[in-house]
């Protein structure tokens, strides 16, 4: 029998998630003690918009996290690569590195970026972690686990979603835009911000965006599928507005996009 388009998409989703589960086979899949736990995916665009990291921006993000820790909130942190990673990857590609080797170099840069945050974050575990299973153990020691990338082909957002899944935590994406839009807000001044989305709407948006060249996506499809399969709450924010970030974590009114089950979709 000929498969419908929906059946084909579902099969593709299952294959992508099976690949994620295989790569992270150590996950227990059991929710941990996740009260007030947030997994922050800090986009490299926030602190590394050029070829080198900005120490002032890194310090400000760390100070904001520390204030929230002082109010009892718990965090696991995943740090992205920014333009520095893209420069290193481009250099490797120019010298003949294959895709796997390029990803390995990109991961190394994200881990170097993560190391810049550790001395500034109160109670941070002293080393960049390289095994997702360690997040739960480190949190149980009243420490903050800090990660860069983990494996080739996975973005730091996907890593963050997998860690949130292992902790049954809330995923928070900090980028240089206010949330998820119906078009790239850097190129389309009339782009509309979604204030809320359900999982199906998020996945559909990403499918459409990936089919168009030159799209700047806040999140990749594998990461969204992880949110969907475990029904994880997620928040997408502009990390340049740290007052707004702190308001969102505290449950106050904020500007951004929330993703959750059965929330429908709404534009600003």
Residue 4 has pLDDT above 70, yes or no: no
Q: Measuring CA to CA, how many Å separate 108 from each of 83, 101, 167, 207, 212?
A: 13, 11, 25, 29, 29
Rounded Cα distance between 160 and 126, Å, is 19
Chain centre to alpha carbon of residue 227? 11
> pTM of the full predicted structure?
0.84
Rounded Cα distance between 141 and 66, Å, is 17
Residue 68 is predicted with a pLDDT of 97
Of all residues in the chain, what percent carry a pLDDT higher than 90? 72
List pLDDT tens digits, range 119-136.
Answer: 999 999 999 999 999 999
**CATH for the 35-267 domain, from 1.25.40.10, 3.40.50.1010, 3.40.1160.10, 3.90.45.10:** 3.40.1160.10
Mean pLDDT for all residues in the chain: 86
State the residue for tokens 């990936």: 210
List pLDDT tens digits, range 142-198.
Answer: 999 999 999 999 999 999 999 999 999 999 999 999 999 988 888 888 889 999 999
Domains of the chain: which residue ranges? 35-267
Higher pLDDT, 184 or 200: 200
Residue 215 has pLDDT above 80, yes or no: no
List pLDDT tens digits, range 75-119.
Answer: 999 999 999 999 999 999 999 999 999 999 999 999 999 999 999
């Amino acid at each position: 029998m000929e498969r419908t388009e929906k059946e084909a998409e579902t099969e593709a989703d299952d294959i992508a998630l099976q690949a994620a589960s295989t790569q992270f086979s150590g996950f227990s899949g059991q929710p941990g003690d996740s009260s007030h736990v947030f997994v922050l995916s800090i986009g490299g665009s926030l602190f590394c918009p050029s070829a080198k990291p900005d120490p002032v921006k890194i310090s400000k993000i760390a100070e904001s996290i520390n204030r929230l820790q002082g109010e009892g909130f718990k965090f696991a942190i995943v740090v992205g690569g920014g333009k520095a990673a893209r420069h290193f990857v481009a250099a490797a590609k120019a010298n003949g590195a294959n895709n796997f080797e390029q990803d390995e170099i990109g991961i190394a840069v994200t881990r170097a970026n993560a190391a810049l945050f550790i001395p500034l974050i109160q109670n941070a575990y002293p080393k960049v972690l390289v095994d997702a299973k360690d997040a739960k153990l480190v949190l149980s020691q009243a420490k903050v686990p800090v990660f860069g990338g983990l494996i080739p082909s996975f973005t730091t957002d996907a890593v963050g979603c997998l860690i949130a899944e292992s902790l049954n935590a809330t995923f928070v994406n900090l980028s240089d835009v206010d949330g998820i839009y119906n078009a790239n807000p850097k190129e389309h001044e009339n782009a509309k911000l979604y204030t809320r989305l359900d999982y199906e709407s998020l996945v559909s948006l990403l499918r459409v965006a990936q089919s168009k060249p030159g799209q700047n996506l806040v999140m990749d499809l594998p990461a969204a599928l992880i949110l969907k399969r475990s029904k994880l709450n997620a928040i997408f924010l502009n990390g340049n507005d740290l007052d707004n970030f702190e308001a969102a974590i505290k449950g106050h009114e904020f500007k951004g996009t929330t993703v959750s089950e059965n929330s429908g979709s709404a534009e600003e």
